[in-house]
Amino acid sequence: MNKEDNTHFGYQQIPVHEKKSRVAEVFHSVANKYDLMNDLMSLGMHRLWKRFALSASGVRRGQCVLDLAGGTGDLAYALAKRVQPDGKVVLADINESMLRQGRERLLNRGIVNEISFVQADAEHLPFPNHYFDCVTMAFGLRNVTHKEQALRSIYRVLKPGGRLLVLEFSKPILPLLKSLYDTYSFNIIPKLGAWICNDEQSYQYLVESIRMHPDQETLKKMMLESEFDDVEYHNLSGGIVALHKGFKY
């Protein structure tokens, strides 16, 4: 098999055609404890990171928004509050289990009628051209096999003047923080996964997938090469997470 026929799954090299199913297995396994694990792993910080992304989105009443890789729906819920009463939010995720969890959680919060749910692959979005005012993607891009293809697909469905926000784990910018973060990630997070989800292997993959994700400048370059303009990023928590923002003009 040629090298170009392979891709990474965490630190493993696997055939490209296997990655989507392998990632799907991970999220099928963790879906019912996903929110709890996010709180434990990030010490609740993921809520602040998403709040920052929401404030940077500029989303307002009447707009049409896609929350891509929206998972259990916490960001979609906040977006729906902003676009009501005459706007629209679409929560899209490639994983059926995560989408089901999102629908159930939002139904329990009484807001399911304000959100549409679509099972969709980020690389091949099933929406018309120039459809959304804003696309958000929180902690999902690193799991996509062909990231550049997903960025081009997002660009296509954005309206002129629309914007993309990618919230994703990135590279700490302080050497001491990086050392502490690596120690925590590789020694604590998989053990939490074993304890809470009875699944250490999936959380080992998630930790490794973060390390394989492009750094801040590389992702900025990828967005620019995908035709986004005015691309900028903000480091959060010392670069453990970064919010990238780009526009379609």
- With pLDDT > 90 as the criterion, what percentage of the chain qualifies? 67
Mean pLDDT value of segment 51-59: 96
Checking if the pLDDT of 76 tops 90, the result is yes
pLDDT tens digits, one per residue of 108-130 = 888 867 899 999 999 999 999 99
Q: Give the dihedral sign, CA 208/56/67/196.
A: positive
pTM of the full predicted structure?
0.91
Give the pLDDT score at 23: 83
pLDDT band at 1 (very low <50, low <70, confident <90, very high): very low
Mean pLDDT value of segment 3-28: 82
Checking if the pLDDT of 28 tops 60, the result is yes
**Whether the Cβ atoms of residue 29 and residue 199 lie closer than 8 Å to each other:** yes
> What b/e sequence results for 50-78 when a residue is b if at least 16 CB atoms lie within 10 Å of its CB, and e otherwise?
bebbbebbebeeebbbbbbbbbbbbbbbb
Give the pLDDT score at 239: 96
Give the pLDDT score at 4: 56
SS3 166: strand
Query: What CATH number should be reported for the domain whose range is 3-247?
Result: 3.40.50.150
- Please tell me the chain's helix, strand, coil percentages from 3-state DSSP, rounded to the nearest 5: 55, 25, 25
pLDDT tens digits, one per residue of 185-220 = 999 998 988 988 888 988 899 899 999 999 999 999
Give the pLDDT score at 2: 46
Give the pLDDT score at 90: 97
Q: Give the highest mean pLDDT range of 43-47, 82-86, 134-138.
A: 134-138
